[in-house]
Structures are given as C-alpha cells and as structure tokens.
Amino acid sequence: MIKVTIYNEYLHERASERVAKVYPHGIHEALKENLTDEDISVKTVTLDNVEDITDELLADTDVFMWWGHKAHEKVPDEIAVRVQQACLAGMGMIFLHSGHHSKPFKLLMGTPCNLSWREDGDREYLWVCDPSHPIVQGIGNYIKLEHEETYGEPFMIPEPDKLIFIGNYEGGEAFRSGCCYRRGYGKIFYFQPGHETFPTFYHPDVIRVLKNAIRWAVSDYRGVLECPHIKKIEE
Amino acid sequence: MIKVTIYNEYLHERASERVAKVYPHGIHEALKENLTDEDISVKTVTLDNVEDITDELLADTDVFMWWGHKAHEKVPDEIAVRVQQACLAGMGMIFLHSGHHSKPFKLLMGTPCNLSWREDGDREYLWVCDPSHPIVQGIGNYIKLEHEETYGEPFMIPEPDKLIFIGNYEGGEAFRSGCCYRRGYGKIFYFQPGHETFPTFYHPDVIRVLKNAIRWAVSDYRGVLECPHIKKIEE
Amino acid sequence: MIKVTIYNEYLHERASERVAKVYPHGIHEALKENLTDEDISVKTVTLDNVEDITDELLADTDVFMWWGHKAHEKVPDEIAVRVQQACLAGMGMIFLHSGHHSKPFKLLMGTPCNLSWREDGDREYLWVCDPSHPIVQGIGNYIKLEHEETYGEPFMIPEPDKLIFIGNYEGGEAFRSGCCYRRGYGKIFYFQPGHETFPTFYHPDVIRVLKNAIRWAVSDYRGVLECPHIKKIEE
Amino acid sequence: MIKVTIYNEYLHERASERVAKVYPHGIHEALKENLTDEDISVKTVTLDNVEDITDELLADTDVFMWWGHKAHEKVPDEIAVRVQQACLAGMGMIFLHSGHHSKPFKLLMGTPCNLSWREDGDREYLWVCDPSHPIVQGIGNYIKLEHEETYGEPFMIPEPDKLIFIGNYEGGEAFRSGCCYRRGYGKIFYFQPGHETFPTFYHPDVIRVLKNAIRWAVSDYRGVLECPHIKKIEE
C-alpha cells in the first residue's frame, strides 16, 4: 500500500462560492476520493492543521502531494524545510498547479519558479512528450481540458531531468506542464493543471496521471543524508 | 569571421510555383542574404553538388546549417557520416525544420527524430523558455509566425541539454521547437520553423535567432577524436 | 519473467588459454549462470550465430546485454540497426565493458564512444554516486575489483541522463563507469567493468548490479515509432 | 573588464601557522593576485566585512567566487539569499572546495551537498571529461595535485548539467570534481580542489581553470525575475 499525504491550503473553497461549487469539501477531499485505490491510501492536511506535518507523518508518507496558492507564506519555514528534507531523504513529491510557488518546491528547485499567468479559462491541450514514460500510461497523445488557468513561459525552474507534458492554451501560450526531477533520494513531479475554479481534479486523465505519478514517485529507498568523515580504505 | 556553410536540397523551389514565389533563388540564397553579416560569411551547397561537402569544406566551416525535406535519402551515407564526424570534432550544426529527418541529425541523435505533422498553415507562437540564453538575445517573450507547418509531440529525440523554445499552434498542438545539444566537441541547435511555403526565413526574429545560434555554435576548439592506448602515469 | 538475451562475441575465450581459464564456456555462459533468477531467464547468442538476432528474437527480449571487443566490425550493419531500433521501441539494453565500441551502442549514442585504455590489471574501486538508484540497491559505497582493464577519460559519450558509478584505478585514472540513458522508449545502461582476462562477472556485487540493471531496464511499454500525418483536432 | 568578487572567510589563515605559511595574506589575496589579468579585475570580501556583500556590490559583480569552511553558519541568511538571487538574475558563481557547504551553494542546488571526506593529503588527478569545454582550454588530459583533501561520493547534488572533471585520489576515492549548472539566468561552476593547507591556488593549471571559469560564467544578460500577470495576446 502506497501512503499518500495531500496538503491543500483549503482557503479558496471556503471563501468563494464559485470554488465551493466545484470542490464543496475542498480540493484535498476531491483528490482523496479520486486517488484512493487498491494500492493507494490517502491522508490529508490543510493550512488549519499544517503543524500536523511532523517528521513522524513524513516518515510514514511515501508520496506527498501539495496544492497551495494564496497562503504560501503562512506555511512556517521550518515545516517547509521539513518537507524538503523528507523529499531529499527519499519521499516522493507531487506539486500541483500553483504549488510552483510553494516554499518546499522553491527550496527543492533553488530557483524562484516564476512564470506568467492569465485567468481567462482557456481551453488547454496537454501533449505527451514521451508515450513510454510511466506517468503517461493509459493516456492518449494529449489531455484536453475545457478550461484552465493559463501559465506561460519563461518558467524559472532548473532544466527538468525529463519533460513529460507541454501545454497549449487557446490564447497562444505554451508551457512546460509536466516536469520530472530527482533531488537527493527523492523523485519530484510538477504538474501544471489544477486551478481551483475548474473541475480539473475530476478529469479521468488527470486522475490517471496523478495515480501514475504516485506509483512512479514512490521509492523503496529511504536514507539519512550525511557528510561522513571517512578513513582510508585498508588494502 | 565565422564561416557558415548552408546545405539546402533546393528541390521544392524548382518544382513548385508557390514555393518559388517565396524563395525565388532557393532557401539557401535567402538565408545567405539574410545571415551574412560583418562577422558571418556564408557558402552554400545544394543536392545538385552535394559531393562538394568534402572533408576540406567541413574543416573550413565553423557552423553548418541544414535544410532538407523530400530528398534526405539522396544524400549519400558517406557524406552524412562525414558531416556527423565534423560536428563531433567541433563544427557547430544548425538543423532547420524538416532537417529533423536528415541523415546527419538522426546519426547525431541516435533516435528516429519522428514527430507528428500537419500542413494547415497555422499561426504559431514560439515561446522563449530562458530569456538569458545567447540564442534568444534581442527577441521578446515570443516570436509570432503568421503561418507555419504544424509539428507535434511526441518528438522522438534525446532529452535536449537545454530547451530554448516551445511552439504553440492555433490548431492546438505544442512542440519542442528549439533544442540545444552538445555531442562530442560540437554544439547542435535544432529549430523547428522554416516550411518552404512560408516566408519564415525573412522574419527578422527568425534571422536574429539564427545569427545568435551561429555565434553560439561556433567553437575555438576543433579536435580529432581518438581512442588511445595510454601508459601508466610515472610517479 | 524478464526475458534477457546476451550477446557475446565469444572469440577471446577460444583463442586464449588465459581467458579460457577464467571463462571456460564463454562470458555469455558465465553471465547466464549467474544472472538467471526466479524472475530472470536468459538466452545467449554469439558471433557464430549472430544472424539469430532476428526481429522475432528482439520482440521476445525484454533486456538485451552486449559484450563484444575485437570483432565489432563482424556484426552486420543491418543487425546492429535492428538492435538499435528494438531498443528505441522499448527494449532495455545493457552494454558491458568493451561494448562501448559496439555498433549498436555507437548508433544509439551518436558519438564515437572513444576512451583511453591501459591493460595493467589495476585495482579498481567503483563508487556509487547515488545510493538511492535502483541499479545500486544492495551494494555498499563502492565495489572493489582486484584487477580490471583501465579505462580513462575523456569518454566521448553524450552527457548521461544519470551517472551511477565513477571508477578509480590504482594507476591514477578516473572514469564514468556506470551511465544511464533513455533513448526513444528504451532504457540503456553502460557498465565499464568486464575485461575478459579477469573474473569480474563472478563478483557478487557485479552480478547484483547487473540483475538490478535488468530489472531497471525492463519496460511494460513497447511501441512502434512513427511519424504520422495528423488532422486538425475537431473542436 | 570582467569584475570578480571573491569571498573568503579568512579564519584558518589567521588561526593556524601551517595555513598561514601557505597563504600568508589569506586565500583571497592569493587568488586575487593570481587571477587578476588584463580582462579580469578582482575585489575581495572576508567574513569580517561580510556585510559589504550588498545588492550594490552584487550588481557590480560579473562573477562571484566563494571559499568558506568552518564559518558557513556565520554568514547571515539574508546575505546568502542575496547572493543566490544575484546569481539567479545572471551573476556567475564559482564555488571552491569546502564551499560545497556554503549557504548560497546549498540554496542554489536545493540539496544538502553532502559528501565524504578525509584529510590525508592524497595525491589527486583531476581528469578532463570533455576537452572541448571552455573551462579546460589550455589544460592537458589531467591536472596533478601533489596533495589535496580527499572528497568522496556520494556527493548529494542535482545531476550536473555538464560534468567537467572527475578526481582520482591515491587512497582509492573518486569524485565529481568539476560541475557546471545553469540556474535562473546565472551560470555556476563547482570546483573541488582548494584545501587551505595545500598550495592548490598557486598551481598554474588550477589558476588557468579558474580564469577560464570566470570567462565562461560571465554573462551579458542580467535580468529581474518576475511572475507577471499577462493579458491575452490580441490577434
């Protein structure tokens, strides 16, 4: 059983009727319901109980999923560092949509992770760059989303180890929408779709990608990162 | 002075009135006229005189530019290998548009370099992924082409060392339209625009990109690639 | 069950008493015996029956392992291309030692894959660059080989997607001894140890690495590589 | 003229007679003397006046070089972030030896940058992986250092964009000793040699590498990193 923990700040859903209609119990609950599977179990955390992201929880998490937007700064630095360190020690991480600006993602990338953005509900096509990658199994050549927030280049990230999706928006933008990294002992996937006003997290192909990404990001290896003083090898 | 050699198969321009109107003296002559600069001198070769691509010519070329489409197979294997080897020994290479299927590009990549394609004259935006890269200096956030052939993912290339452009087509496709590689001692740039029926090679931003790419691809280093038997270092 | 096919040119073992003492039935038989496991079955091919490397065999092979040295040129080009294409379509490949100069490896890399070499039977340490990688599970910080052929930089390969081992030889050289690539839909692992005069392929850690590499290189995905003419997406 | 600023914590040289004999005026002064050239001018900063690392100084610096060891924690966080941000905005950075654990390097990498270490004054050979790279011009196949501190794998860094050197130590270790990165708009070079007790920074090949690295890391581009709200492109 793969243990997934989802963080969702859970503010938009309680502040906006429009968002509440799409995610009445919050993005985290929609994700939990849709991602739970015979080999995937899900816990959730929100900003209200962000202190629950303890070392114990992280040690008991195979893959951590992060959705945040307007309250990135309210996540305490020490918790962001804790998440970063757990990932470096082997925990998988999936950052969703506006999670590009979350503290743990920026800490892991080392860059500002800025991008251009536009909220016009454009149609988006997400194109698969490599149909053989585990993350896109079961997906066709592209995923069509009727409406998404538009993200545009330049996206200030390190060159991805592997680019999985590029997005085309009807207004003309293009974006590196699915990016894989390995940092320390952990695997990281950034996935661009998931604006709070659209039902992206109910789309079967999006759910399939996220389940695939969970299975891809989980690792049997979990290690402490050290800087040991060693002795000369005796020959 | 940077010495550039341009190969253009020069068949479409003589077979099609429509193409001849756009490139009356051939794509190679349009490129030569537009790329020649105070620090760039240009020679041209076409399929008619493809045998002129000798080791001497290659040794005297800093950057080789390649446009081909319907006659890739007519380029003799030995000449394709000669170009590949010159690149590996330090000559820069720029492959244009349908040059993705040229023999030297496929030899250098090791992959089929297949893609999806569609000829509907879509509007294309080429988005800059990294505004600090030498190849995009003087370009804004994007280049707009009124009409281009549509290329779509998956593009069967090795992961680029550095992705420079991604293209958005009005019909919904997205593509890795500008890709940098280093192979052996040579630098390689693949650039997607340049269909024979459109005036792409007169577009000032395209010309700027190509001039930048020429200056980026040139190298002071030119070496023979060997596999020497060495002796133990005396201490 | 993972289906592995091992190619060994099988010339040194029959031409040299010294080699025959180490590998009396050939490197391929030693590998077959040591790699066969509850989830790994092994077939072998030698230069004598190299024509057995048919499309049918390749379609029925999950991971292909290649050892060759002095008869690379005797492998027909068409068979080398066949192996390359099978890898691009999703078959895993492991190239051993002097296989760096085999035709399929050079075709897949696009570079000459040259290196410096010295046959003094140096002690070698193979250091693990990333202890979390699947290929090094069960290995300590390094593997010690009492004697190996020395390979030295520069190794004329594309930058590996992931560097797994770097080797230290007692004579002073260092080498990128374990390199991972993805090309097309296939995974490739190059592993430097394995000179015919030393019992490298009996070393438990080497066998462990090779078994790990087999399990890492196998893929559920197997595809035909195409370059389709597509139609505009109907909206 | 390329403007270089060197930070050296300058503690060992004043605390240890052994170090003072090698670097009587500090590592920074030795570097300044040896790196100053017709096109390179050098300023220095030490921990004593670390507050001099202002935004103004960074804006006036093309390439920043960093040597620190036992007082990484005494560099204020806000200064480390300032240096990181300047690099992301286009300033080149060269991290020397124990600078692998400096705050700006760890911030830029996003990983702990741990390694194994041993202080036995081993002989080291630094092997050139790519003789065509600008950083190794004028260097032979390797650099020999009579004595250096031993650094060993695993080195917990992101996969380098380009690996330039791998080191061989007489005690048996190997290490990724020269690593290139691009982060944001800035170029970064990590170079392993430079222990305070050895005259590494007087070695002509080391100086040549550092001058080459300075010229490689400098960029004409300097930009502010933003996350703009954009408008739909009018067509």
Kindly list the residues from chain D whose CB atom is less than 8 angstroms away from the CB atom of residue C176: 129, 163, 166
Burial of A21 (0-12, 13-18, 19+ CB in 10 A): exposed
Residue D171 falls within a domain, yes or no? Answer: no
Kindly list the residues from chain B whose CB atom is less than 8 angstroms away from the CB atom of residue A152: 127, 141
| Closest CA–CA distance from residue C221 to any residue of chain B (Å) | 15
Residue A63 falls within a domain, yes or no? Answer: yes
Q: Do C156 and B116 touch (CB under 8 A)?
A: no
Check pLDDT > 90 for residue A20.
yes
Residue B153 falls within a domain, yes or no? Answer: yes
Check pLDDT > 70 for residue B225.
yes
The model's pLDDT over B132-150, given as tens digits with 9 standing for 90+, comes to 999 999 999 999 999 999 9
* Beta-bridge partners for C93: C64, C188
Check pLDDT > 70 for residue A149.
yes
Q: Do D101 and A233 touch (CB under 8 A)?
A: no
Q: Summarize the confidence of residues A4-16 as an average pLDDT.
A: 98
Number of domains in chain A: 1
Could you give the 3-state DSSP secondary structure of residue D49?
helix
Q: Does the N-terminal peptide bond of residue C104 adopt cis geometry, omega within 30 degrees of 0?
A: no
* Rounded Cα distance, A207 and A145, in Å: 13
The model's pLDDT over A89-104, given as tens digits with 9 standing for 90+, comes to 999 999 999 999 999 9
Tell me, what's the pLDDT at C224? Answer: 84
| Closest CA–CA distance from residue B13 to any residue of chain D (Å) | 31
Q: Which chains touch B (3 or more CB pairs under 8 A)?
A: A, C, D
Kindly list the residues from chain D whose CB atom is less than 8 angstroms away from the CB atom of residue C131: 154
DSSP state of B159: P
Tell me, what's the pLDDT at D235? Answer: 56
* Rounded Cα distance, B119 and A175, in Å: 23
Tell me, what's the pLDDT at D225? Answer: 80
Q: Do D219 and B132 touch (CB under 8 A)?
A: yes
Burial of B202 (0-12, 13-18, 19+ CB in 10 A): middle
Residue with tokens 């073992």: C13
Tell me, what's the pLDDT at C220? Answer: 87
Nearest to B130 among A154, A167, A172 (CB): A154
Contacts of A14 (CB under 8 A, 6+ apart): A20
Name the interface residues of A facing C (CB cutoff 8 Å).
Answer: 90, 123, 125, 130-132, 137, 144, 161-162, 182, 184-186, 219-221, 223, 233, 235
Tell which of D132, D143, D180, D231 to mutate to test the B interface (max B CBs under 10 Å): D132
Low-confidence ranges of chain C (pLDDT < 50): none
Complex confidence, ipTM: 0.96
Tell me, what's the pLDDT at B177? Answer: 98
Nearest to A130 among B116, B131, B154 (CB): B154
Tell me, what's the pLDDT at A160? Answer: 98
Q: Do D174 and C141 touch (CB under 8 A)?
A: no
Residue D223 falls within a domain, yes or no? Answer: no
DSSP string, chain C: -EEEEEEE---HHHH-HHHHHH-TT-HHHHHHHHH-BTTEEEEEEEGGGGGG--HHHHHT-SEEEEE-STTGGGS-HHHHHHHHHHHHTT-EEEEEGGGGGSHHHHHHH-S----EEEEEEEEEEEEES-TTSGGGTT--SEEEEEEEEEEES---SPPPSEEEEEEEETTS-EEEEEEEEEETTEEEEEE----TTS-GGG-HHHHHHHHHHHHHH--S--------B--PPP-
Q: Which CATH number is A108's domain given?
A: 3.40.50.880
The model's pLDDT over A169-205, given as tens digits with 9 standing for 90+, comes to 999 999 999 999 999 999 999 999 999 999 999 999 9
Tell me, what's the pLDDT at A220? Answer: 87
* Rounded Cα distance, D209 and D201, in Å: 11
**Two tokens at D193?**
């040699």
Residue with tokens 């709200």: D229
* Beta-bridge partners for B67: B8
Residue A223 falls within a domain, yes or no? Answer: no
Q: Do B130 and D185 touch (CB under 8 A)?
A: yes
Tell which of C132, C147, C180 to mutate to test the A interface (max A CBs under 10 Å): C132
Percent of chain D exceeding pLDDT 70 equals: 100
**Two tokens at C220?**
């559920």
Is the CB of residue A3 less than 8 Å from the CB of residue A56?
A: no
* Rounded Cα distance, C213 and B114, in Å: 28
Residue C129 falls within a domain, yes or no? Answer: no
pLDDT band per the 50, 70, 90 thresholds, residue B235? low
**What's the predicted TM-score (pTM) here?**
0.98
Q: Cα B81 from chain centroid?
A: 16
Greatest pairwise CA separation for chain B in angstroms? 71
Q: Summarize the confidence of residues B81-96 as an average pLDDT.
A: 98
The domain of B191 spans 2-217
| Closest CA–CA distance from residue D128 to any residue of chain C (Å) | 6
Task: Give me chain B's average pLDDT, please.
Answer: 97
Tell me, what's the pLDDT at C235? Answer: 56
Tell me, what's the pLDDT at A235? Answer: 56
- B135: number of Cβ within 10 Å: 25
* Rounded Cα distance, B121 and C43, in Å: 51
Q: Summarize the confidence of residues D175-193 as an average pLDDT.
A: 98
Q: Do A233 and C185 touch (CB under 8 A)?
A: no
Q: Do D166 and C166 touch (CB under 8 A)?
A: yes
* Rounded Cα distance, C115 and C99, in Å: 12
* Rounded Cα distance, A179 and A166, in Å: 9
Is the CB of residue C30 less than 8 Å from the CB of residue C68?
A: no
Residue B228 falls within a domain, yes or no? Answer: no
* Beta-bridge partners for B199: none
Tell me, what's the pLDDT at C17? Answer: 97
Side by side, the strands of the sheet bearing D116-128 are: D40-46, D2-8, D63-67, D92-96, D186-191, D174-183, D162-169, D116-128, D142-152
Q: What is the dihedral of CA D109, D114, D120, D125, to 10 degrees?
A: -40
Nearest to C131 among A137, A162, A223 (CB): A223
Side by side, the strands of the sheet bearing B162-169 are: B40-46, B2-8, B63-67, B92-96, B186-191, B174-183, B162-169, B116-128, B142-152
pLDDT band per the 50, 70, 90 thresholds, residue D224? confident
**Two tokens at D155?**
């080195």
Is the CB of residue B214 less than 8 Å from the CB of residue B92?
A: yes
Kindly list the residues from chain B whose CB atom is less than 8 angstroms away from the CB atom of residue A116: 141
Q: Summarize the confidence of residues A133-159 as an average pLDDT.
A: 98
Interior/surface letters B142-165, b for 16+ CB within 10 angstroms, e for the rest: bbebeebbbbbbbbbbbbbbbbbb
Check pLDDT > 70 for residue A76.
yes
**Chain D residue with minimal CA distance to C180?**
D159
The model's pLDDT over B90-141, given as tens digits with 9 standing for 90+, comes to 999 999 999 999 999 999 999 999 999 999 999 999 999 999 999 999 999 9
Residue B66 falls within a domain, yes or no? Answer: yes
Q: Summarize the confidence of residues D171-183 as an average pLDDT.
A: 98
Percent of chain B exceeding pLDDT 70 equals: 100
Task: Give me chain A's average pLDDT, please.
Answer: 97
